Structure 1
């Protein structure tokens, strides 16, 4: 996993503080985020993953039209995560809407956050450029160096520890082939230029190992 130097709690407090002065509410919502992302079954979809995505968002902030919406979507996109369930994105989006209403975030921003979270289910090209950036932040791990990628793949396997080896390999191969069959893994030109070739190399290398 990449070095996660950005502090999610600090980012959360600053972001939420733009919408409410209720420090108790900000603290309560942070505790919920921290607790969920620190669940025992989370070997990859955890606070380190949040930090990694938040660093991407900070780096490309000037390219974002609504950076607050993208940052909120990062915080909530995996708030509900159970590897044995298929409705994590829908449940995460619903919880995001509930919590952002408590923060008095504008409705248009909340709708964008929900749409962005739901888009992480398929990672299909979106008409909204901010959502495309979020999707690329989420998959940027695929285009990292081989050692980092291997650590990511190992963490994903650990999240599916309940799945027998042969069944996991079959399922993982389908996931890898799904990404490789996409016209482009990354949706924004900048990420395509930076990471597309490396991501293809990593995915194909993992396929050969499985």
Structure 2
């Protein structure tokens, strides 16, 4: 679902929302972004929308997911936690400007904040659609996955290769240790197997770059 449609379905003013969209596009085009750009937001909006339809969610619920998908990385400075909080604040401000009702604003804000730890109550189906879609890249083709991994590395270029290797390996090990990467059966059937292959492959490469690893 595109931005104007989502705002309209939530009772907002689409003309005011168009101004917010211009700012959103500008932010996602910032030069330091290599993965968390508009292509990523578009992919999350597409995949979360498809999951929302598969879950049988209402038009309003699909609109809430779409808003969160478009805005969840609207502020991105490679500062985990702070970025999501700032993105949630941007979402609140712009939805309020567009005169979206408070209840809808609060729900969209909650969804954006759920991406901090990728956690939400098990019965939160809206968050499930958003969070599963946000991780869809893990189950992409090896080539697309490598583009993602390279892009994230560039976004964190402030870190040395050694510091990045250690930190990234820890993240990969943590992901692989999860009993499941995706919250929904649909997403697991679609992406889980390939995601584990991609993660394991990247972890093997980083371990191979460790001079102390045997």
Q: Spell out, residue by residue over 1:133-152, the C-alpha distance to the aligned partner (whole angstroms, 9 max, x if none).
A: 10001000001111111111
2:18 aligns with 27
Cα distance in 2 between the residues matched to 1:22 and 1:190: 33
Which ranges in structure 1 are unaligned for 5 or more consecutive residues? 1-7
Q: What is the deviation of 1:14?
A: 2.6
Q: What is the deviation of 1:85?
A: 5.5
2:193 aligns with 197
Question: Which entry has the higher C-alpha Rg, 1 or 2?
Answer: 2
Are 2:106 and 1:111 equivalent residues in the alignment? yes
SS of the equivalent of 1:126 reads coil
Which ranges in structure 2 are unaligned for 5 or more consecutive residues? 207-214
Of 36, 43, 46 in structure 1, the residue corresponding to residue 34 of structure 2 is 43
Cα distance in 1 between the residues matched to 2:68 and 2:172: 24
TM-score, normalized by length of structure 2? 0.87
Of 141, 165, 168 in structure 2, the residue corresponding to residue 169 of structure 1 is 165
Cα distance in 1 between the residues matched to 2:118 and 2:80: 18
Q: What is the deviation of 1:75?
A: 1.3
Are 2:74 and 1:74 equivalent residues in the alignment? no
CA 1:189–1:51 in 2, change beyond 3 Å: closer, same or farther? Answer: same
Q: What is the deviation of 1:15?
A: 2.4
1:132 aligns with 128
Whether contact under 8 Å (1:136, 1:186) holds in the other structure is: yes
Cα distance in 1 between the residues matched to 2:14 and 2:37: 26
Across the two proteins, how many residue pairs are aligned to each other?
A: 200
Q: Spell out, residue by residue over 1:140-198, the C-alpha distance to the aligned partner (whole angstroms, 9 max, x if none).
A: 00011111111110111111112110011111112112211222110111001111111
